[in-house]
Structure 1
Amino acid sequence: MTVAESLPVTVGRRRLYVQLGITLVALAAAGGMLAAHRATLDSGTDRLADADGEWLVLACLAALATWVCAAVAQQGAVVEQLPKGRLVAVQFAAGAANHLLPAGAGAAVVNLRFLTRCGLSTRSSATALAVKAAVGGIVRCVLGVALLVASPGTVPLSVRIPHVLVLLPVAAGAAVLAVAISGRLGRVVSRALADVRDVHRCRARACALWGGSVAFALLHAGVVVAVVHAIGLGLPTSRVVMAYLVASGAAALLPTPGGLGSLDAALAVGLTAAGAPGPAAVSAVLGYRLLTGWLPMLPGLLVLALLARRSAL
């Protein structure tokens, strides 16, 4: 192997080591926080054990529907028709794999292998995943802004102003980056935009992409809302939804497996800011995690193994 050939491998390994290092640090910090707040965690667990069963069933149904919505959004991100049953199964398995690798890499790898097995090129598959991820981020931002417009009291003014001040330099940096794109990177972006235009030429696929992404975000927020009602918290639904949207966005900044630690802390802080007592906020986070991550973990890994055995991945 020449020096030129070995350089990408070295860079890839270095990036992997950095991601794993950040993941370990984040998980260690999360473990330290849990140990420091053991009494609050125990109280939250007890409260969740006495939760309303009907609301928990509703939360379970919302959690199950999230995988269907993820499948709809993934279908909308590609022009080719994908096998529906396997597509939903892959999203379920990808959710489990997402808790094993940092920064959503598990779900990306599973979906990438599935799309290539379905006949898509590696470039088209990667573009489809990028389009789906970008639309998911845009949807969360739009939902947050729409919620603030529809219900201005959702977030106090003193909290909204710093967010605006932070978004201004971010928007300016994005504009500078867009202007700076040129050469080979520009050609890659042009090809990706061409794929995006191909998807949006079909109204049904565009509706599937955006509708599935919107439903996915709202159903995850619905799981939190149902758990909050199950444990008897009288928080306004708009504040709970906003807490989830902000927490999911903040968790994306830390590359932990499945947002472990980052999403938990951000959601607990968001619910506390919305008016929930500390132990009750912990209960809500535990319930959300239980239904969307921990309980589906083993079945998801079994489905992943089955898909791999049948050469679907």
Structure 2
Amino acid sequence: MLGLAAVILVVFHLGDLQHFVALAQGAEPVWLLLAVGLQLLTYVCAAGVWYCALARIGQRRPMTSLMQLGIAKLFTDQILPSGGISGTLMVVQGLARRRVPSDLAMGAMLVGLVSFYAAYGVAALGALGALWLHDQINRVVIAIGAVFALFVVGLPVAVLRLRRLNDGPWLRRLQRIPGVARLLKSIAAAPSNLLRSPRLMAETTLLQLGVFLLDGLTLDVMLLALGQPNSLLSAFAAFMIANVVTTLGPIPLGLGTFEAASVATLVLGGISVEAALAATLLLRGFTFWLPMLPGLWLARQELGGRPISEVDAPPDHA
């Protein structure tokens, strides 16, 4: 919270508080309603990843139930910054509640994990390309991109390599952490045939990419709501750079780091500092603060709620 407050104070020092207030008060409701629709679509895309993976293994579940799981996942990813691992593991618990066998749930988890990082890498590369087209590439952006490239490749590779490791000093130390031994056994038992399906991986990667695109489009809509026409590519680049900085940073919720990166990138694109901050805060309101309470409640349900009966979520044996 102190980090977020510092960003706001710096912006107000550089800009005009009255201009910021006038921009916020003049936001067009129609564009804000469109932003609500875009955010609902992100949850549809997130649920679609699990729907496709489960349908492939004959364990189809209702989309409405998986959308609740998607909200809980996105909330967990932001609360516990771990590059998407925390939310993915929470999904495994949620699938278990829906009576998906543990080995199949872990197989679906691997599909979600690999497709997420594939889409994340493509989206980040697209953001760097957009900045290069607008001549906004600098050494800081290149350094962030290089560190992120190592992260987005290294983390899923490390998880997949755990399937092949049976013993070793460092592995035995890792298994001493509560819950890790069980997790490693589950990963080792997960079927990997799903990862060898080009069609499934293409479908899930596109759905994961859709989440990033819809969030970037939401930022562009926020600028339009403030009367600040902007290039969609610039808005998408600002969102992705802010997202990458949040992923690499250790601060839960990305408070301060996300806002600072987004504002800085938008200002490089020619947006006034007041409009950049107002649009970023509106975006965070729709993507994080509004879903906070339902996300918290749903995450608690997924982690500690009663199992969902087979009547609620009938498996598809076709």
Task: Note the aligned Cα RMSD (angstroms).
Answer: 4.1
Contact 2:131/2:137 (<8 A) preserved: no
Q: Distance in 2 between matches of 1:68 and 1:192?
A: 30
Q: Cα gap change, 1:165/1:238 in structure 2, threshold over 3 Å: closer, same or farther?
A: closer
In the alignment, is residue 65 of structure 1 matched against residue 37 of structure 2?
Answer: no
Cα distance in 1 between the residues matched to 2:138 and 2:257: 24
Equivalent position amino acid for 2:3 in 1: A
CA distance in 1, matches of 2:135, 2:207: 27
The structure 2 residue matched to 1:214, chosen from 209, 213, 223, is 209
Q: Does 1:290 align with 2:273?
A: no
Q: Secondary structure at the match of 2:41?
A: helix
Provide closer, same or farther for how the CA distance between residues 280 and 170 of structure 1 changes in structure 2, counting only shifts above 3 A.
Answer: same
Q: In structure 2, how many angstroms separate the alpha carbons of the residues matched to 1:33 and 1:161?
A: 19
Superposed CA offset, 1:60-85 (max 9, x none): 11011101100112333443323322
Instruction: Pick the structure with more helix per residue.
Output: 1
Verify: 1:299 aligned to 2:260, yes or no: no
Q: What is the TM-score when the length of structure 2 is the normalising length?
A: 0.70
Task: Report the secondary structure of 1:209's partner residue.
Answer: helix
C-alpha distance 306-193 of structure 1, shift in aligned 2 (>3 A): closer
| Distance in 1 between residues matched to 2:68 and 2:275, nearest whole Å | 33
Once structures 1 and 2 are overlaid, which stretch shifts more, 145-154 or 92-101?
145-154
Q: Distance in 1 between matches of 2:244 and 2:117?
A: 8
2:63 equivalent in structure 1? 84
Structure 2 residue ranges without an equivalent (≥5): 172-183, 310-318
The whole-number CA distance in structure 1 between the counterparts of 2:256 and 2:166 is 37
State the partner residue of 2:259: 264
Scaled by the length of structure 1, the TM-score of the pair is 0.71
Report % sequence identity: 22
Greater mean alpha carbon deviation, residues 159-168 or residues 74-83: 159-168
Mapping of 1:1-313 within 5 angstroms? 27-37=1-11, 44=20, 46-78=22-54, 79=57, 80-103=59-82, 107-120=87-100, 122=102, 125-126=105-106, 128-146=108-126, 153-156=133-136, 158=138, 162-163=142-143, 166=146, 170=150, 183-184=165-166, 195-201=191-197, 203=199, 205-304=200-299, 309-312=305-308
Q: Which amino acid aligns with 1:201?
A: S
SS at match of 1:311: coil
* Deviations 1:227-271 (CA, angstroms, capped at 9, x unpaired): 111112232211111221222122110233333332222212221
Q: SS at the partner of 2:166?
A: helix
Report the residue type matching 2:71 in the other structure: F
Contact 1:77 1:199 in 2 (8 A): no
Structure 1 stretches of at least 4 aligned residues deviating more than 6 Å after TM superposition: 185-189, 191-194
SS in 2 for 1:224: helix
